[in-house]
A and B are shown apart, each in its own frame.
Chain A
Amino acid sequence: MSLLHLAIFSPFLMAMLVPFFYKGLRSIHTGWFVLVLPILLFTYFLGFLPITRNNQAVEKSFDWIPSLGISFTAYVDGLGLLFALLITGIGALVVLYSIFYLSKEKESLHNFYVYLLLFMGAMLGVVLSDNLITLYMFWELTSISSFLLIAYWYDRERSRYGALKSMLLTVFGGLSMLGGILLLSLMGDTFSVRELISQAGELNEHPLFLFAMILVLLGAFTKSAQFPFYIWLPDAMEAPTPVSAYLHSATMVKAGIYLVARLSPIFAFSGYWFWIVGAVGIFTLFWGSLNAVKQTDLKGILAFSTVSQLGLIMSLLGVGAAALHFDALDDNIYTAATIAAVFHLINHATFKGSLFMVVGVVDHETGTRDIRKLGGLLGFMPVTFTIAVIGAFSMAGLPPFNGFLSKEMFFTGMIQLLELNIFNLQTWGLLFPILAWVGSVFTFIYSMMIVFKTFSGKYQPEKLDKKPHEAPVGMLISPMILAALVVVFGLFPNLLSYSLIQPAAAAIIPSLVGPGEKLSVHISHWHGFSTELLMTIGVVALGALMYVTLSKWIKLYTVFPGKVSLNNLYDTSLYAAERGAYSMTKSYMNGFIRTYLVYIFVFFIGILGFTMWTENAFTFNQNNLAPIGVYEIVLVVIITAGIITILMAKSRLTSIIALGAVGYTVSLFFVIFRAPDLALTQLVIETVSVALFLLCFFHLPQLSRHEERMGFKLGNVLVSLGVGAMVTLMAISAHSNKMFDSISSYYVANTYEKAAGKNMVNVILVDFRGFDTLFEISVLAIAGLGIFGMIKLRLSKKGEEADEN
């Protein structure tokens, strides 16, 4: 347990203290106490920068379950540190924002901050764990805390729906990922990521490799809202806005990105990785941006834009994998894609966080997030407008903001794909830059919508619940800081390049970085009149044109009926699964005991018959048979007559008496089979049993005292004949296969010698095998007590009345 571990666990410890602050110090907003922790953690993690700058790492480990190879190894390298700084930095800003966003009087703040701290700790655990099982544990903890945060206003139906949806999808992915992790550990015999990376070459040839890859990717894609699993993210917007800003734009949805980046060194040698990650990413980019334009809710637009931007980062990671196939090139142009991915990851966290906070401000001050009701807020909220412009223009990829730089790098990566001549890219490779470009056009359109539909145009006071005014300063601090970062990173991108981006990119593609070497990361604003610049100009031109004419073509979206959507597919399949399970259970669990007995007996016949048939198990051997005497034949006739009487009897009385006859015949069998003790017991017990049967018969209720002939059912006959036949065949077969002699010679020899008795059966019962007898006595005692209880104990009302009578 080191300081690093303490840092990872500190949010959990803090979460335990939150309720005490909340109950004990009611006058101060609980968020102020919480705020201290992420700031401390952020400065603590800043201290690692000098180490990771030189592509070195810090590792601390302590055993958790050493016998299973599960330890809690904290590992800080460039990639982990980048995420840790994002989590703690944006975490601090979000906590600050939430202090002003959530009211002290109306909200149950202790719940909010406990969930948020749980999430923060879990997320730190995900990005700093080297052991895959520990990573999975923290991964599921993020799913759970996200579930709790989405349903924070649990009295709203939409919140509960969104929380359940995100839980089902992300846990589905998480479990798939666990499968992938287990397959990886089977192949590599370790849970440690770095040890697995060192055997990447051997793993690549393993037959389970592809399955492990697909399962792990399922986890990453569901968490990072990739196509077709993005559907939970728009519904997660029911969460409070600080949560949306933190979880659903900056941190949790990037856990999948992190996983893909972290495991790239293991999987990226395979062409499938490139295709799956690249193609899913680029299509998600396209699809998300296409859908964002038709949203009318500001948070809805931002949700789809998050989906789209995550697709962008994912596709860059996929394309970056191509670098590994060309490590012979001197200046590997494909590493640029990985660098672009890391850069855009940072940029997206800054501008998307600020945009969510802006939307929260607008919602807070006007009472709505619907762009059809909003407009003309520029005069009321100039500061908010400025922040929105910076965030949205950066998202659209306009200079001088940081989004411009990463968008240019993204285009570079996509264009370079055309030069790639592996994985059959000649035919399909052109789709990548085309989808990227079209996606960017739509990105431009929805970015403009966020700014201009909200802040310019006509002011419609009649549609607003509140009179709009500028937000309190405290609420604006966090988005202002983020917007300032957008501008700073835009103007001076090389502030980041060697401190954060280079170490993170080097951690994603370690095989290309020799000891002591560094990837060359230099981001410049101006790189001549390149194709990328022309593409950006095209995006702006076409985007602006389409935005102006938006009202003319927006109706195109209604061409696709609402029923043909992934949401609808999710809803109907969930409903169908529930209905299907219900009707299936209904169909065989019908409540009739007879039906269940038929299942049991048919299964008995089936499994026994099948085994006898396939194993050729039936044998018939006439040796070793006892001779048949006259007495036996007579008894067999009597017992058969008794059985037939029971079956054919019209009255119950007859069948009870016939049952008695069968029982006495059995005791006669015991007599001729030389079993005197059995015969005695059987006689006595049969007598008592018949008396009990007659008691029951006597107490039949008046109504059903009709003498009925038993209903004849062919199915029952077949089942019962089958059981009888099976037992007969089994008995004959078992008797014909005597394996070895009985052990009873020992009892015969030692009954008198050792146990001082001459009745062998009795000596076995009380001496050799006395324990059986002890518990058989217990059975009788329990039966006796049970009967007594049943008769005496009457708890129902009816029973009490009966007692009084």
Chain B
Amino acid sequence: MEILMSLVIGALLASAVYLMLSKSLLRIIIGTGLLSHGAHLLIITMGGLKRGAAPLLGEEAAAYVDPLPQALILTAIVISFGVTAFFLVLAYRAYQELGTDNMDEMRGNEAND
């Protein structure tokens, strides 16, 4: 299962990088979304996918899955959400102010250097 997940994560990252290299600002943000999904799945996979009960003591199982990666991912999800929301509003404001979403047109011109 871990090998399969590694391949899925690789595919997520590859497509994320591909999107981030494109011109459109929205696609870049979609790429960052895929990138964070890949990272979250990587954390949980590397924590080991051994079958066990959910990390709730009420289950009274013999073995539980590792709770630590889950806590880490939960933190990461919230942070990446905050950053993504900020980026999206930034992109929205950039559309409003600059009238473009093409990254090639957004490069600083030399007169401003």
Contacts and interface: CB of A to CB of B under 8 A. Distances in A.
B13 to A, nearest CB: 5
Contacts of A662: 12, 34, 37
Contacts of A201: none
Interface stretch (A324-332, A344-352, A428-436, A765-773): A765-773
A728 to B, nearest CB: 3
A731 B14 contact: no
B74 A681 contact: yes
Interface in A694-716: 695-697, 699-701, 703-704, 708, 710-711, 713, 716
Interface of A: 590-594, 597-598, 601, 624-628, 632, 636, 639-640, 643, 646-647, 652, 655-656, 659, 662-663, 666, 669-670, 673-678, 681-682, 685, 688-689, 692-693, 695-697, 699-701, 703-704, 708, 710-711, 713, 716-717, 719-721, 723-725, 727-728, 731-732, 734-735, 742-744, 747-748, 751-752, 758-761, 764-765, 769, 772-773, 776, 779-780, 782-784, 786-787, 790-791, 796, 798-799, 802
A666 B41 contact: yes
B22 A710 contact: yes
B1 A592 contact: no
B76 to A, nearest CB: 9
A673 B65 contact: yes
B71 to A, nearest CB: 4
A594 B79 contact: no
Contacts of A773: 75
Given A761-B55, A783-B82, A647 B18 contact: yes
Contacts of A791: 89, 93
Contact of B40 (A639, A666, A782): A666
Most buried by A among B10, B15, B71, B93: B71
Nearest to A730: B6
Interface string B19-51: 111111011011001100110111011111111
A640 B17 contact: no
20 contacts: A597-B20, A598-B21, A636-B4, A669-B44, A673-B44, A673-B65, A675-B55, A682-B77, A692-B84, A696-B88, A703-B99, A708-B24, A713-B21, A720-B15, A720-B21, A723-B13, A724-B15, A727-B38, A765-B74, A780-B81
Contacts of B49: 626, 673
A148 to B, nearest CB: 31
B54 A724 contact: no
B92 A776 contact: no
A625 B2 contact: yes
A689 B33 contact: yes
A724 B41 contact: no
Contact of A693 (B9, B26, B65): B26
B15 A647 contact: yes
B111 interface: no
A174 to B, nearest CB: 33
B86 to A, nearest CB: 5
Contacts of A761: 55, 67, 70-71, 74
A744 B70 CA distance: 11
B108 A764 contact: no
A626 B57 contact: no
B3 A701 contact: no
A689 B2 CA distance: 28
Contact of B11 (A593, A695, A724): A724
A744 B63 CA distance: 11
Contacts of A666: 37, 40-41
A732 B18 CA distance: 22
B27 A724 contact: no
B46 A772 contact: no
Given A678-B74, A681-B77, A646 B53 contact: no
Nearest to A743: B68
A710 B12 CA distance: 18
B21 A594 contact: yes
Nearest to A636: B8
B67 A760 contact: yes
Given A742-B66, A758-B56, 5 more contacts: A655-B27, A673-B65, A677-B70, A719-B21, A782-B82
A758 B57 CA distance: 5
Contacts of A624: 48
A728 B14 CA distance: 10
A428 B48 CA distance: 79
B66 to A, nearest CB: 5
In the A-B complex, the 8 residue pairs with the smallest Cβ-Cβ separation, listed nearest first, are A724-B14, A728-B10, A591-B107, A783-B82, A720-B18, A760-B67, A720-B17, A760-B55
B3 A732 contact: yes
A798 B85 contact: no
A695 to B, nearest CB: 7
Contacts of A643: 11-12, 15, 34
A688 B81 contact: yes
A670 B97 CA distance: 40
A689 to B, nearest CB: 6
Contacts of A720: 13-18, 21
B49 to A, nearest CB: 4
Nearest to B67: A760
Contacts of A734: 46
Nearest to A763: B67
Most buried by B among A723, A731, A758: A731
Contact of A790 (B3, B8, B83, B89): B89
Contact of B100 (A685, A689, A704): A704
B31 to A, nearest CB: 9
B95 A776 contact: no
A764 B71 contact: yes
Given A594-B21, A724-B17, A742-B47, A677 B74 contact: yes
A695 B92 contact: yes
Contacts of B33: 659, 663, 689
Given A678-B70, A681-B78, A735 B2 contact: yes
A716 B75 contact: no
A628 B42 CA distance: 17
